[in-house]
């Protein structure tokens, strides 16, 4: 897969997330849970657009977009987030079905569950990537 | 039986079977006095998990889109349990598939 194709795929993911956010907002009622979610989503989208723009600039100037280190960082960050996402997703499922009802918390709707999962995946990947890049532990 | 529930049961069995196979393989290696994982298998695990991570983002986004589409076209929407099941099982199957593929093809 060449560099341009990879960038278009990345751009596709950002567009997909933006469309999903718009769809989610068409569902969501104006309650307290929507405002913090919107802030976090807006931050993620801004960071994603900035990262994509940086990549596009690299392609334009003939510099390779990814080196060996950034690939290793992405793979390791993805590994940690994948493992964490299994536990977090299952916890959300258990919370939604049992804990919320038992403790009298408001029940989560399906679009809240989906939004929480997407948010967790995005935030934890960014955090994991930055942590590993600062620490430099990729082996 | 509801097709969504049937798919979840089959998916769970595939993931449980694959995970059991990996655990069994590790135990066998430890019994034989070999390390359970080496540099290559770690790299394969990282890369396969990265693909599984990307797939879990897409599964969650597609579940959201499907519910919007279902709402507008009279289909049954996925409930929260089904979304959770899909986000755990589909990337799990992709992780197993990618592990086997990378094991055969090399990293």
Query: What is the per-residue pLDDT across A30-74, written as a single tens digit (0 to 9) for each?
Result: 554 566 666 666 777 777 777 777 777 777 777 776 778 888 888
Domain count, chain B: 1
Q: Does A24 reach chain B within 8 Å, measured CB to CB? A: yes
- Residue B48 belongs to domain spanning: 3-105
- The pLDDT tens digits for B13-70 are 887 887 788 788 878 888 888 877 788 888 888 999 999 998 998 898 888 888 878 8
Distance, CA of A31 to CA of A37 (rounded, Å): 11
Per DSSP, chain B holds a count of helices (H) and strands (E) of 3, 0
CA atoms A87, A93, A96, A97: torsion sign: negative
| Number of CB atoms found within 10 A of residue A65's CB | 16
According to DSSP, residue A17 is labeled H
Asked if the Cβ–Cβ distance from A75 to B92 is below 8 Å, we say no
Complex confidence, ipTM: 0.80
- Overall pTM > 0.90: no
* Closest Cβ opposite residue A114 in set B45, B50, B60: B60
Contacts of A60 (CB under 8 A, 6+ apart): none
Q: How far is the alpha carbon of A36 from chain B, nearest alpha carbon, in Å?
A: 19
H/E element, A123: helix A110-135
Tokens standing for B35? 């390390």
Distance, CA of A63 to CA of A71 (rounded, Å): 15
- The alpha carbons of chain B give a radius of gyration, in whole angstroms, of 17
Per-residue pLDDT at B100: 87
Distance, CA of A49 to CA of B54 (rounded, Å): 17
């Amino acid at each position: 897969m060449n560099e341009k194709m990879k960038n278009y795929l990345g751009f596709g993911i950002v567009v997909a997330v933006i469309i999903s956010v718009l769809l989610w907002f068409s569902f969501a009622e104006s309650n307290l849970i929507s405002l913090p979610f919107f802030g976090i989503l807006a931050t993620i989208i801004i960071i994603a657009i900035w990262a994509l723009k940086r990549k596009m600039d690299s392609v334009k100037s003939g510099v390779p977009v990814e080196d060996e280190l950034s690939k290793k960082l992405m793979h390791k960050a993805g590994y940690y987030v994948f493992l964490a996402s299994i536990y977090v997703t299952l916890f959300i499922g258990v919370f939604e079905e049992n804990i919320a009802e038992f403790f009298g918390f408001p029940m989560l709707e399906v679009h809240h569950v989906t939004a929480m999962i997407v948010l967790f995946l995005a935030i934890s990947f960014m955090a994991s990537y930055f942590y590993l890049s600062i620490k430099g532990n990729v082996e | 039986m509801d097709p969504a529930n049937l798919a979840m049961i089959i998916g769970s069995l595939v993931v449980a079977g694959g995970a059991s196979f990996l655990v069994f393989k590790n135990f066998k290696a430890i019994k034989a006095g070999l390390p359970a994982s080496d540099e290559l298998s770690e790299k394969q695990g990282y890369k396969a998990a990265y693909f599984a991570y990307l797939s879990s983002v897409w599964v969650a986004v597609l579940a959201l889109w499907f519910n919007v589409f279902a709402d507008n076209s009279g289909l049954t929407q996925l409930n929260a349990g089904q979304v959770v099941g899909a986000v755990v099982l589909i990337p799990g199957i992709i992780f197993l598939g990618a592990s086997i593929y990378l094991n055969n093809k090399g990293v």
